[in-house]
Structure 1
């Protein structure tokens, strides 16, 4: 596994944005699939010991993914991702929000903008996460977003490594 891959996590409190830049030792097509196909997303999205379980996903503009992060004890923490823009293999945007089991958002969501590029076999994913308020972003940080997302991205590294 390539341990020299870029990983930047920058919190910008002035504009309520978290910017993440992460390199993967995998081709862009495979990285794109890992973010857009539920059978792959569920293998890495949740930080261990949680697992991800997609109830349904319709990856198209206006489509949604409704999923749960499931604890080892079976407790479900639901989320909704609603896709607002898709440029195949290069960019997609979504609204990401926590929800109850009936798909009702329980907190205001955040707007995610994901960009994919490749150079010399290394794919870079740049994620910009905008929150409508500093309070919402601080809540996200307090809930351990950085640690959890970092762990999930490491799961993705393992997925790519196993697939080689």
Structure 2
């Protein structure tokens, strides 16, 4: 079954992403928190590669992800974990480097994974400093990149369930 990702903008400063996965919550959490699994599905657009995946998923811990793309283009993201409650919820700051999100700055990301029997519902709320920053993120193509990543994640989860 294809799980469609839904993106909404409920306020001037928020983006909310929802999606379901055909896997138990603990498995989805692992694929979203372990570097060796993140590197398999958080690749960016076609032709891009994740080159750095540093994770210290604890309160006060930091993360840093970096990608390289065609013709020497690169981007990265880093931040600090404010709350980590496996396998249900985490809150972290996120800053994109290289200006890939027009209007950028720091955003606050809240991930919630809810159990639906053997399925999992994901909700990510991104809170921006301004409407302009939120609109820049929407215009950046993030929706297409996230959807492609989640389709790759579906394949990993399907293989793990076997």
TM-score of the superposition, structure 1-length normalised? 0.86
Report deviation, 1:7. 2.8
Residue 8 of structure 2 is matched in structure 1 by 10
Quote the Cα distance in structure 1 between the aligned partners of 2:18 and 2:53.
28
Deviations 1:46-82 (A, max 9, x none): 2342222335221111111111122144532111032
Q: 1:151 to 1:55 in 2, by over 3 A?
A: closer
Runs of 4+ aligned structure 1 residues displaced above 6 Å come to none
Match of 1:79 among 74, 77, 80: 77
Quote the Cα distance in structure 2 between the aligned partners of 1:110 and 1:150.
20
Match of 1:129 among 104, 126, 131: 126
1:91-106 → structure 2 map (5 Å cutoff):
91-99=89-97
TM-score of the superposition, structure 2-length normalised? 0.87
Q: Give the root-mean-square deviation of aligned CA atoms.
A: 1.8
Gaps of 5+ in 1: 101-105
Moved more, 26-35 or 49-58: 49-58
Is contact 1:54–1:65 with CA below 8 Å preserved after alignment? no
Report deviation, 1:91. 0.3
The aligned length equals 156
Report deviation, 1:120. 2.1
Is contact 1:38–1:54 with CA below 8 Å preserved after alignment? no
Gaps of 5+ in 2: none
